[in-house]
Amino acid sequence: MVFDPQTLRLLDTFATRTRRSFYGIRQGAHRSQRRGHGVEFAEYRSYELGDNPRYIDWNLYARSDKVYVKRYLEEETVSFFIVLDGSRSLTHPDLRIKWESAAHLAACASYIALASQDPVTISVLGGTHSPSFWGAKAFTSVRRFLDTIPSPSPDSVPDGLDIVDAARRAATRVSFPGICLLISDFLYPLEQVAAMLGSFRARNMEIHAVQILGPSDLDPSPGSFGGTLVDSETGEPLGLSLDQNSRERYAQALSAHIERVRQHCYGAQVQFTSSIAKEPLAQASIDTLTHMGLFV
């Protein structure tokens, strides 16, 4: 994965904007739920033994003859939990553009987060471990990690990945609630999508779901004279000839599915963004980041 200087300059202009505040691990750039010694005033509290006398509001004491301390909102880091759908519907060699696009988007989001000193954890559904990264220099490690994720060979037997179970196991690796960036094609039955999102919602995270669609998702036509369609997940074949009418119906069905996912996300307070995998990846990723609303 190669980033040209122009793309990096563009990414430098982005900043993270969270809707919620979280407890962070250390001092950072985001408003935290923790009260402390930040800049923004939060509340008054009665002085208790052990409080630092520097924070006593002496003006208030003069007026009320009671001792209060001023409390401020702490500014801390926010944990980024980037989840990549590692199922064959993205990693299959024939659909590789989807994976490349998803990985590139994950890398871009990591770059922005790491530049703000926010910790980033990347988890690939179906993967065995979820490494964490910290600091701007860790971006090289992020790229190296994403590059090392192998794609299954076209002839390999489908592993029958249970995406819901994989999502549940990935969610258990979340140490601190924060932002969850879930990148998938969401081309599963709605129940599975709902279960997958529910796993992360249960961890009290701000979820941003990014749907990556490939050209074959938009037009799965196997050829002008028909052919066999093979499911990327299960390897199940389906002999089908798509004429113009069938294509239109398929397009309607796909739109309806996406709309259902979008509606579910809306109800579950999940920010949903749909994008199409295309070259050049950098431009596509920046377009998606702009539309997500997480980065400004």
Partner 1 sequence: MMTMLGSAISAASPWFLLAAPIALGLLVYIFRVRGSSNTTVVSTLFLLKDLPQRPQGRKTFIPPLQFWLELLLFVSLSLAAANLISTKKGRHVAVLLDSSLSMGALASEGTRFEEAKTRATRDIADSSASTSFTVFSGSTHLEKLSSKPTDKTRSVERIESLELSQGKDSLQEQINQLVNDPSYDALWVYTDHPMEPPPQSSRIIVSSSHQKTRTDHNVWIQEVSRSTSPGPEQLLVSVRSTLQKGFAATIKTLCSSRSKSQELPSATVNIEPLQRTTVTITPLPEAWDYCHLTISSPLSTHTESIHIDNEAWVTKDQSLSRVTLQSSLTPDQLGLTKIPLITIASTIKPANPNEPLIIHRQSLNAPPTAASLLVMPPAGPLPWGGSVEESTAITIARWDDSHPIMRYVKPSLLSVPEARVLRCPVSAQPILFSERGPLLCAGESRGVRYAISGIELFPFDGAKTPTLSILLLNTLTWLFSNAGTTSANALPTTVPLPHDTTAVEYVAPSQEPLPITPLKTVTAPHAGVLKVTKATGDFLFFSLNSFYESESDLSLPRPITVTEGSAPPPTATARARELYPWFLSLALIVALADIVRRLRRRQGWGAA
Binding site for partner 1 (CB under 8 A): 89-90, 92, 94-95, 97-98, 154, 185, 187-189, 214-234, 236-241, 243, 246, 249-250, 253-254, 257, 276-279
Closest contact distance (angstroms) between CB of 44 and partner 1 is: 56
Cβ count near 128 (within 10 Å): 6
Q: Report the residue number, 27 or 216, with the smaller CB distance to partner 1.
A: 216
Closest contact distance (angstroms) between CB of 85 and partner 1 is: 10
Closest contact distance (angstroms) between CB of 117 and partner 1 is: 34
**CB contact at 8 A, 99 and 138:** no
Distance CA 200, CA 172 (A): 9
Closest contact distance (angstroms) between CB of 22 and partner 1 is: 33
Distance CA 91, CA 81 (A): 20
Distance CA 210, CA 183 (A): 5
Indicate the burial class of 252 (C-beta count within 10 angstroms; 0-12, 13-18, 19 or more). Answer: exposed
Which amino acid type is present at position 220? P
Q: Report the residue number, 107 or 115, with the smaller CB distance to partner 1.
A: 107
Q: How far is CA 219 from the centre of its chain?
A: 26
Distance CA 169, CA 126 (A): 9
Q: Which helix (H) or strand (E) holds 8?
A: helix 5-12
Q: Report the residue number, 150 or 223, with the smaller CB distance to partner 1.
A: 223
Say if residue 53 is preceded by a cis peptide, omega within 30 of 0.
Answer: no
Q: Report the residue number, 99 or 139, with the smaller CB distance to partner 1.
A: 99
Closest contact distance (angstroms) between CB of 151 and partner 1 is: 12
Q: Report the residue number, 46 or 245, with the smaller CB distance to partner 1.
A: 245
